[in-house]
Amino acid sequence: MRDFPDPIKRLIEELGRLPGVGPKTAERYAFALLKRRGEDRERLADAILDIGGSLSTCSVCGNYTEENPCPICSDSRRDRTFVCVVATEQDLLAIERTGEFSGLYHVLGGVLSPADGITPNELNVRELLARVSRETPTELVMAFDHTIEGESTMMYLTRLLRPSGIRVTRLARGLPTGSEVGYADEVTLSDALRGRREVIREHESSTA
């Protein structure tokens, strides 16, 4: 025997298709699953199969949902004039969790990355433009990663939206919580300098 029994091999192979999972990690997961009770394995298998069933994407914002439109889009208390454009559903949830945003979202489905074959056609760009001309929000905030792909996606959308006259903003850049000036990289520090705010005004607005 120079290899695991077939069922284990097959499981390792399938687990190895998860993002960032190499053969050794897949092996580790497989053996952990082997040592579990049958019910525990069934619960995982069921959970994997279930997402194929009741989930679809919201026809308005593109987020995963069990109802259409999704609970956010159909929430009448939310500010319908303010739309946050995010790359992924995970980014949407990260913003939701801050509790700071009461507008709606638009999930682009990724960022532009010509090297990986991701052009505007692969993303919900057309849907965004149609939505903007249909719903006429007053502000779009671009909430993309502070990376080359995130930046270019933001610039691309901003240019595309310019004719609409809509206000396009982006997330602030600067020092993250808990970071130390002496250890911050130059780009972050430059961003923080350029984006500096008056201390008094800031305090007044946060206590207002």
Closest CA to 109 of 131, 82, 91, 134: 91
- How many residues can be counted in the chain? 208
Task: State the minimum distance, in angstroms, from the CB of residue 64 to a second copy.
Answer: 6
Q: CA 1, CA 194: separation in Å to the nearest integer?
A: 64
Q: Is 199 in the site for a second copy (CB under 8 A)?
A: no
Q: How many helices (H) and strands (E) does the chain have?
A: 8, 6
Please report how close the Cβ of residue 50 comes to a second copy at its closest, in angstroms: 5
**Radius of gyration over every alpha carbon of the chain, rounded to an integer in angstroms:** 22
Stretch that binds a second copy, among 60-68, 117-125, 138-146, 188-196 (CB under 8 A): 60-68
Q: Is 33 in the site for a second copy (CB under 8 A)?
A: yes
CB of 39 to a second copy, least distance (A): 10
Q: Which of 22, 23, 41, 148 contacts a second copy by CB under 8 A?
A: 41
Contact status: 76 vs a second copy (CB under 8 A): no
Choices 32-40, 142-150, 171-179, 199-207 (CB under 8 A): range interacting with a second copy: 32-40
What is the CA 61 to chain-centroid distance, rounded?
A: 12
Could you tell me the smallest distance in angstroms from the CB atom of residue 55 to a second copy?
Answer: 6
How many angstroms separate the Cα of 132 from the Cα of each of 92, 115, 125, 155?
18, 28, 11, 17
Determine, following the binding rule CB under 8 A, whether residue 23 of this chain makes contact with a second copy. no
Query: Which is it for strands 139-143 and 79-86: parallel, antiparallel or unpaired?
Result: parallel
| Rounded distance between C-alpha atoms, residue 102 and residue 81, angstroms | 10
Which of 22, 76, 77, 90 binds a second copy (CB under 8 A)? It is: 90
The dihedrals phi and psi of 168, each to the nearest 5 degrees, come to: -115, 120
Residue 118's nearest CA partner among 160, 140, 146, 150 is 150
Q: Is 96 in the site for a second copy (CB under 8 A)?
A: yes
Which one of residues 60, 62, 65, 161 is an interface residue with a second copy (CB under 8 A)? Answer: 65
- Binding of residue 95 to a second copy (CB under 8 A): no
Positions in the binding site for a second copy (CB under 8 A): 1-8, 10-11, 13-15, 17-21, 25, 27-34, 38, 40-55, 64-66, 70-72, 75, 88-90, 93, 96-97, 99
